Amino acid sequence: MKKKLPSLDTNPLDSLFSTEEERQDNKLEKIMKIPLEEIHDFKDHPFRVRMDEDMEKLIESVHENGVLIPVMVRPDKDGNGYEMIAGHRRKFAMNANGMTEVDAIVRDLDDDQATIIMVDSVRP
> So where are the chain's domains?
28-43+51-120
Q: Model confidence over 41-61: pLDDT tens digits? A: 887 776 778 889 999 999 999
Q: Model confidence over 82-100: pLDDT tens digits? A: 999 999 999 999 999 999 9
Q: Model confidence over 97-109: pLDDT tens digits? A: 999 999 999 999 9
| pLDDT score, position 4 | 73
Query: Class assignment of domain 28-43+51-120?
Result: alpha beta
Kindly calculate the radius of gyration of the chain based on its CA atoms and give it in whole angstroms.
21
